[in-house]
Structure 1
Amino acid sequence: MREKAKKGRRSHSRQGYMMQLLINVGISTIITAILEIFLVSNVSAFASYLYQRGDSSPAVQRFGFVSTVSILLYVLSGIAIFSFIFLLLQQRTARDIGRIAQAVERISEGDLSVQLEIEGEGEIAHIAESINRMERDLMDLMERERSAEQSKTDLITNVAHDLRTPLTSILGYLELLRGGASLPRETEEHYIEIVYNKAVRLQKLIEELFGFTKLSYGKQNLKIGELDIVKLLSQLVEESYPNFEKHGLSYEFSSNVPSRMIQADGDLLARLFDNLITNAIKYGAEGKRILVRLRSEKNAVEVRVINYGYVIPKKELPMIFDKFYRVERSRSSSTGGTGLGLAIVKNVAEMHHGSVEVSSDLSGTCFTVRLPIRYTAEE
């Protein structure tokens, strides 16, 4: 549809330019013809008058010869007048074409600050509009490329840091274990447990990083199907019971409907809400309670995961869904966070054409996810 519209605009522009050209030619021809008719008719009338008088003097004969030559000169002058008027009418077009040529040359040299302002609705104006649009698209593309490059750099930097810390710890404990020093059995078991936990953390980081990369770069294909969102959330909450118990948390799940079918990728939604529940357990342990609320609307469902623990500083809320971002890095390190869980939440929600928001104050920290009932694939 968009391509047809572009072809239509190009066709309209060509027709408009040709029409303007024909109008200019017509105006030039009419003005020239009027002048020619006026001059030739006057000369012819005067010559006819002398002929009717029967005046055959040499002067009159010379006038007849001169009048013939004059007519030829009038024809030539008519051509000159036509050319002058036509060029005068085309002067604005020529000036606009010159401005477009200069703009294109500057753009080719890397200057994307050029803005063409050409009045009218003809082909030249459409060309200028297309160049301005192309320039904006180029700037957007370059900005996205810069952002993507910076994102890759940040990704490598953060991954290197998060991998290096547990690896350094693992190597340190392994050096102690293989150093030949006689260590008490309990100490060896303690070191082995530490190494194991660090290795598990590395595995988790790599898995989350791999999953996030697939989501971010479009390599994760959605498997859309019908699923009961009430049943899914109920199962996830029940599966998290050992984790709730471990941290001394009570939990509650409520819904305004007993069942609600939506179109979504069940595995990805399970990952989204599991990440939110896990995040609430990690940072909400101080509040001793986790709430999961589902509200079904006509065309969407809203899920809120609420904890009453750590309050996220207001200035950090806009960055909470950035990859590798952690509220109080030392605190996140102690809870084992990788900084990817909430970034995955945002990606999955947006892949389903939904949204996720967060609010945090003394009354609690609430993550709100909105998802459409019916999934519509992008064209």
Structure 2
Amino acid sequence: MFQNIKINKISNSLTEIITGNFNARIKFHDYNKSVRNLIINLNRLIDKFQEVAAVNKQYEDDRKKMVSNISHDLRTPLTAMLGYVEMLQTDASLSLNEKKEYLNVIETKGEVLRNLIDEFFSLSKIDSDDINFEFKKIDITEVTRQCILSFLKDFEAKEITPIIKIPEKEVYITADEKSINRILQNIIGNSLKYGISGKVIGISLKENKDSVTIDIWDKGKGIKKEDLPYIFERLYTGEKSRNSNLKGSGIGLTIVKKLVEKHNGKIEVESLPYEKTTFKITFFKKLRNM
């Protein structure tokens, strides 16, 4: 009879937890050693279940936020495009120059929309491991130089002075060249977009014994200390730490971090607003754990 009471107490505690009180635990009484060990393991199992439930809740919250943000990011340029299309169709008083101007706006918004969709698609492919990486020996100095050359017109147009420090000699790492190029393109593009007020962008490459470090820095508005831990989160737009008028999709840096991690590398950020914001990327010469 007394044993049945003990079992009922344990059962009632489990029922309380199953029905939603994840903070409840099975309490110890005058049970024998075997029952106490069972209760200890049950409480450990409940702890693990509570951790999984918390992760699932966070994942669901993030998913809802992501869907909401994606919808907003896609709707904004699409709404503008449709508005200009309607004006072209209904306003007979528009001059030829005005029509050309509206078509240019539609083209620009269409390009923004296409880039957003491309970024969402790329992130989805990385998340699902649906990308074939071609890891091979590449000259990281040459890849970096070619990437910088692709930005020369942008530097000139925005009156930004590039400070380049790259070794003359060849430096080889094992990597997927397309991914390395995209990482550099995204970070330099980010500095161009948000560091324009500083009028200078620095790109340096340093060879270490087993690794290569690339620093990309600017002297723009920078990132507040409290925002630094979140800048690689998907759809984080940095509106608090960067100019909200220049706010992007928040996908670019997420893609960068994931691609760096695919190379078993690491990326770090330091920022003193209006002094220096530095993205530091480390690639190992030989891939680890692969």
TM-score for both structures, normalised by structure 1: 0.65
- 1:340-377, Cα deviation, whole Å (9 max, x unpaired): 11121222223333322222223211111223333234
Q: What corresponds to 1:153 in structure 2?
A: 64
| C-alpha distance 352-103 of structure 1, shift in aligned 2 (>3 A) | farther
Compared CA separation, residues 130 and 263, structure 1 to 2 (3 A) = farther
- Say if 1:331 and 1:137 are closer, same or farther in 2 by CA, change over 3 A: closer
Equivalent residue for 2:47? 136
CA distance 1:112–1:202, shift in 2 (3 Å): same
Task: Could you tell me which runs of 5 or more consecutive residues in structure 1 were left unpaired when the two chains were aligned.
Answer: 1-93
What SS does structure 1 have at the residue aligned with 2:83? helix
Pick closer, same or farther for the CA change 1:138–1:261 going to 2, 3 Å.
farther
Give the C-alpha shift of residue 233 in structure 1: 1.3
Sequence identity percentage: 29
Structure 1 residues 43-94: Cα deviation after superposition (integer angstroms, max 9, x where no partner)? xxxxxxxxxxxxxxxxxxxxxxxxxxxxxxxxxxxxxxxxxxxxxxxxxxx9
What is the one-letter code of the residue matched to 2:155? F
Contact 1:116/1:132 (8 A) holds in 2: no
Cα separation, partners in 2 of 1:246 and 1:148, compared to 1, 3 Å: same
Instruction: Give yes or no for the alignment of 1:290 onto 2:290.
Output: no
Q: 2:125 aligned with 1:248, yes or no?
A: no
For residues 323-353 of structure 1, the C-alpha deviation after alignment (integer angstroms, 9 at most, x for no partner) is 2222337976644722211121222223333
Whole-angstrom CA distance in 2 between matches of 1:341 and 1:295: 24
Residue 244 of structure 1 deviates from its aligned partner by: 1.7
1:190 and 1:171 map into 2 onto residues whose CA distance is: 15
Deviation (angstroms), 1:286:
2.0
Q: Is the 8 A contact 1:201 1:336 kept in 2?
A: no
Q: Which residue of 1 aligns with 2:287?
A: 375
Match of 1:309 in 2: 220
What letter matches 2:280 in structure 1?
T
Consecutive unaligned residues in structure 2, runs of 5 or more? none
Instruction: Report how many aligned residue pairs link the two structures.
Output: 284
Give the number of the structure with larger relative contact order, counting CA–CA contacts within 8 Å between residues 6 or more apart: 2
Q: Compare the two structures and name the one with the higher strand fraction.
A: 2
Which of 73, 77, 97 aligns to 1:186? It is: 97
**Residue pairs, 1:358-369, within 5 angstroms:** 358-361=269-272, 362-369=274-281
The 2-side partners of 1:326 and 1:172 are apart by 26
RMSD: 3.3
Indicate conservation of the 8 Å contact 1:257/1:295, yes or no. Answer: no
8 Å CA contact 2:14–2:26 kept in 1: the answer is no
Q: Which is richer in helix?
A: 1
SS at match of 1:157: helix
Range 235-244 or range 368-377, more displaced: 368-377
**Range with greater deviation from structure 2 (201-210 or 348-357):** 348-357
Separation of aligned partners in 2, 1:125 and 1:189: 80
> Does 2:178 match 1:259?
no
Q: CA offsets, 1:199-227, max 9 Å, x none?
A: 11000011011112222344445443332
Name the CA shift for 1:219/1:309 in 2 (closer, same or farther; >3 Å): same
- The one of 106, 131, 147 aligned to 1:195: 106
Question: 2:259 maps to which residue?
Answer: 348
Counterpart secondary structure, 2:235: coil
Contact 2:174 2:285 in 1 (8 A): yes
Match of 2:229 among 303, 312, 318: 318
Would the aligned equivalents of 1:166 and 1:198 in 2 still touch at CA under 8 Å? yes
Question: Based on CA coordinates, which of the two structures has the bigger radius of gyration?
Answer: 1
- Structure 1 segment 266-281 matched on structure 2, within 5 A: 266-281=177-192
CA contact (8 A) 1:276 1:305 kept: yes
Letter in 1 for 2:51: D
The 3-state SS of whatever aligns with 2:233 is coil
Q: Go from structure 1 to structure 2 and tell me whether the alpha carbon gap of 1:216 and 1:286 turns closer, same or farther (over 3 Å shift).
A: same
Q: Report the Cα distance in structure 2 between the residues aligned to 1:330 and 1:279, rounded to whole angstroms.
A: 13
SS in 2 for 1:309: coil
Deviations 1:281-301 (A, max 9, x none): 111222222111122222332
Residues 125 and 198 (structure 1 numbering): CA distance in 2 closer, same or farther, change over 3 Å? same
How far off its partner does 1:317 sit? 2.3
